[in-house]
A = this chain, B = another copy of it.
Amino acid sequence: MTDKEEKDQISRIQAGDVRTASRLIRNLEDCVPEARSSLKRIFPLTGRAHIIGITGSPGAGKSTLVDALISAFRKREKTVGVLAVDPTSPFTGGAILGDRIRMQRHAEDPDVFVRSLATRGALGGLSKAVGDAVHVLDVMGKEIIMVETVGTGQQEVEIVNHSHTVLVVLVPGMGDEIQAIKAGILEIADIFVINKADRDGAGQLASELSTMLCMVNKFPGDWQPPIIQIGNVFEPATFAESVGKLADTIDEHQRHLVEKDLLGDRMRRKAMVEINEALRDAILEPVLKKLTESGEMEAIADRLLRRETDPYTLAEEIAHRFLK
């Protein structure tokens, strides 16, 4: 791609061109080298969007909620981008794709851009793909970017690293919510959402959660995570009202971050994650490439299989050869 073509590409993305943005995101996922070059150019243009991470267990109704939040933010005249992270889990893939389809009712709205990201099984690949795609949506001018992910292990940590406001979506009747919360979720949630709040147990879940929050002496930045209950989707008036309240609470959290000068901390954390990921690509990848291309990797595997040496001693020897 020539310099001019690259400039044109970026102008088109800034103008909100969906095809150009989609192609760049896909190329970034596929690690196409010229996409990396585009990313370098767009990085200085980023940092304006408010990024909302949405996590919760499978079946908690996150996609329906995201869909409703799109409408709520559009009513508030905000432009919206959504990244739906599809873990390529064979077990949940089908259901998630089904949910995605519902979001297509915003397909005609030029100020809404929805994109699914697949994780390709590469270690750390998801976090990098999300970070890169968030930058593209940011440059497109999306004021609100929602990153939706299934809450399982590593991904909670990653979503926090990329978000300014984290929603944790719970649903009554899953049985283990409260132990769950004890296990550390208080640390990541900025706002708790109780979805399907018309179900039995919603009140109890909210009050147990509230009791637990009361036991925390000090919240970072003095923000005590509010608990928002979302009504039944089949009762449109109640549902829309509760989603509107959630959107207001998100706005409030955003203002809180700005007023208390906390946004900087979150953006710094994000910057640290990004430089770490970029360093892995820049330092580790060339070494692996050289070892593979020279055939040394095969020889290494042979030696390990014969138990002539161990991976840790070998890795130290290789580090000694490659590092200054």
- Interface contact B175-A95, CB-CB below 8 Å: yes
Instruction: Please tell me which one of the listed residues B89, B91, B275, B308 contacts residue A304 in the complex, with CB atoms under 8 A apart.
Output: B275
Within 8 A of B (CB), among A68-118: 87-95, 97-98
Which chain B residues border A32 with CB–CB below 8 Å? none
With A and B bound together, what is the CA distance between A318 and B172 in angstroms? 49
Known: A40-B312, A92-B176, A268-B305. A323 touches B287 (CB 8 A): yes
Kindly state whether residue A313 has any CB partner on chain B within 8 Å: yes
Return chain B residues, CB-CB under 8 Å to A271. 300-301, 304-305, 311
A272: B residues at CB distance < 8 A: 297, 301
Residues of chain A at interface, number, CB under 8 A: 89
User: Across the interface, do A316 and B264 meet the contact criterion of CB distance under 8 Å?
Assistant: no
Given the known inter-chain contacts A119-B153, A275-B301, please indicate yes or no for A282 contacting B88, CB distance below 8 A: no
Residue of B nearest to A87 (CB): B153
Answer yes or no: A212 CB below 8 A from chain B CBs: no
Question: Which residues of B sit under 8 angstroms from A281, Cβ to Cβ?
Answer: 312, 315
In the complex, whether A124 has a CB less than 8 A from a CB of chain B is yes
A94 to B321, CA, bound (A): 46
Complex contact A152–B322 (CB within 8 A): no
Residue of B89, B184, B185 touching A156 (CB-CB under 8 A) = B89
Question: Is A226 interfacial (CB 8 A cutoff)?
Answer: no
Please tell me if A258 contacts chain B, counting CB pairs below 8 Å.
Answer: no
Question: Which residue of B has the minimal Cβ distance to A275?
Answer: B311
Q: Indicate whether A179 sits within 8 Å of B318 (C-beta atoms), given known contacts A126-B153, A280-B284.
A: no
Q: Which of A283-324 touch B at CB < 8 Å?
A: 283-284, 286-288, 297, 300-301, 304-305, 307-316, 318-319, 321-324
Over the window 182-195 of chain A, the binary record of Cβ atoms lying under 8 Å from chain B Cβ atoms (1 yes, 0 no) is 11110010000000
Q: Enumerate chain B residues within 8 angstroms of A316, measured Cβ to Cβ.
A: 282
Name the one of B45, B93, B275, B311 contacting A43, with C-beta atoms under 8 angstroms.
Answer: B311
A324: chain B residues within 8 A (beta carbon): 321-324
Check: A154 CB closer than 8 A to any chain B CB: yes
29 contacts between A and B (CB under 8 A): A40-B310, A44-B307, A56-B91, A57-B91, A87-B153, A88-B153, A88-B183, A90-B151, A90-B180, A90-B183, A91-B152, A91-B174, A92-B180, A94-B176, A94-B180, A94-B182, A95-B176, A98-B176, A121-B154, A124-B124, A268-B305, A274-B304, A274-B311, A275-B300, A277-B311, A280-B284, A283-B315, A322-B324, A323-B323
